C-alpha cells in the first residue's frame, strides 16, 4: 500500500518570518495523519523549517538543487547542504525550471543523482505543454522526458524516488486534467518505471499529480488507483486549504 503524500511547493512565496508563523499554526492545527505531509519552501526558509518542524510529522525539503557536489559554483546549493538541513525531499525538473532556466533531462538526472547520494528523495517532475496534448502526443512526450530524466539513475528502492506528473498547461491556470486523464498518464508512467526498474519497484513507487490541485478536486484525483498524492502549488500557501487537503488524504 502506497502512503499518500501531500507536498506543498511554495515556489517564491513567503519570507522566513512569515513561514515561522505559518509552521507554528500548522503544528497547532495538524490533524492525526495516515498520509504524509511535506512543505517545500524557498532555500532561506529551510533553517526555519528545521527548527520548527523537526520533531513533527511534517517533512520538508527544497525546490531545487545543484547538479554539482561542491565547489566554485556561485549561487548554487548542494545536496549535501540540503541533507545537513534535514531535507527529506527535493523537487527536480519542475516545469518552471525547465522553461525559465532551460534545464534539460540530462541536467535533471544529474541533480537527482546528487540527491540520492545524500539520502534525499527526489520529487522528479515530468509533464507535457498544451500544444503537445492537443497533438495527441502527451504520453510519448512525458515518457521520453521521464526516461531522459532517469538516465543513469539507480534508486536504492521505491521509497527513494517520487514522480510528479504536472501537465504544464494546468499549472497555475485553474485548468485541470480530469481524474481519468491523470490516471491514464500515471498508469503509463508506472508501466515505464516497471520497464526501467522492475514490476515490484513500479508497484511501490509513488506518483503524484501536480496541476492546480485544490480541496475541490483532490478527493476525485485520489480515487484513481495510480494517483498517490499531490504536488500542490497555490493551495499549499493558505493554511486552511492545505489542512483541507490533509484531511482529504486522511
Binding-site positions for substrate read 9-11, 172, 212, 233-234
Q: State the binding site.
A: 9-11, 172, 212, 233-234
Active-site residue flag, 166: yes
Active-site residue flag, 240: no
Give the C-alpha separation, 169 to 210, whole Å. Answer: 11
The conformation of residue 3, written as its DSSP 8-state character, comes to: P
- Which among 103, 128, 166, 183 is annotated as catalytic? 166
Burial class of 223 by CB neighbour count within 10 A (0 to 12, 13 to 18, 19+): exposed
- Write the CB contacts of 141 (distance below 8 Å, at least 6 apart in sequence): 128, 132
Long-range Cβ contact pairs of 176-183 (< 8 A, separation 24 or more): 176/211, 176/212, 176/217, 177/209, 177/211, 179/217, 179/220, 179/221, 179/223, 179/224, 179/227, 180/224, 182/209, 182/211, 182/221, 182/224, 182/227, 183/224, 183/225, 183/226, 183/227
- Which among 94, 103, 110, 128 is annotated as catalytic? 94
The total of other beta-carbon atoms located within 10 Å of residue 144's CB is 14
Range list of β-strands (E), the chain: 5-9, 36-40, 58-62, 89-92, 121-126, 162-165, 206-209, 229-232
The total of other beta-carbon atoms located within 10 Å of residue 24's CB is 12
Q: Could you give the residue numbers annotated as active site?
A: 94, 166
Amino acid at each position: 500500500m502506497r502512503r499518500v503524500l501531500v507536498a506543498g511547493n511554495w515556489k517564491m512565496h513567503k519570507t522566513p518570518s512569515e513561514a515561522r508563523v505559518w509552521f507554528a499554526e500548522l503544528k497547532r492545527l495538524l490533524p492525526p495523519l495516515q498520509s504524509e505531509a511535506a512543505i517545500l519552501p524557498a532555500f532561506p526558509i529551510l533553517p526555519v523549517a528545521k527548527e520548527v518542524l523537526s520533531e513533527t510529522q511534517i517533512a520538508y525539503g527544497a525546490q531545487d538543487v545543484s547538479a554539482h557536489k561542491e565547489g566554485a559554483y556561485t549561487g548554487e546549493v548542494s545536496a549535501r547542504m540540503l541533507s545537513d538541513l534535514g531535507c527529506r525531499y527535493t523537487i527536480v525538473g519542475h516545469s518552471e525550471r525547465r522553461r525559465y532556466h532551460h534545464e534539460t533531462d540530462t541536467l535533471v538526472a544529474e541533480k537527482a543523482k546528487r540527491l540520492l547520494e545524500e539520502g534525499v528523495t527526489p520529487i522528479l517532475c515530468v509533464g507535457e505543454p498544451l500544444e503537445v496534448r492537443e497533438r495527441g502526443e502527451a504520453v510519448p512526450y512525458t515518457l521520453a522526458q521521464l526516461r531522459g530524466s532517469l538516465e543513469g539513475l539507480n534508486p536504492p528502492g521505491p521509497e527513494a524516488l517520487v514522480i510528479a506528473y504536472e501537465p504544464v498547461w494546468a499549472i497555475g491556470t485553474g485548468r485541470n486534467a480530469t481524474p481519468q486523464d491523470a490516471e491514464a498518464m500515471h498508469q503509463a508512467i508506472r508501466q515505464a518505471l516497471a520497464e526501467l526498474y522492475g514490476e515490484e519497484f513500479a508497484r511501490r513507487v509513488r506518483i503524484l499529480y501536480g496541476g492546480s490541485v485544490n480541496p475541490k478536486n483532490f478527493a476525485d484525483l485520489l480515487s484513481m488507483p495510480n494517483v498517490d498524492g499531490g504536488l500542490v502549488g497555490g493551495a499549499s500557501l493558505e493554511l486552511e486549504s492545505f489542512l483541507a487537503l490533509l484531511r482529504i488524504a486522511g
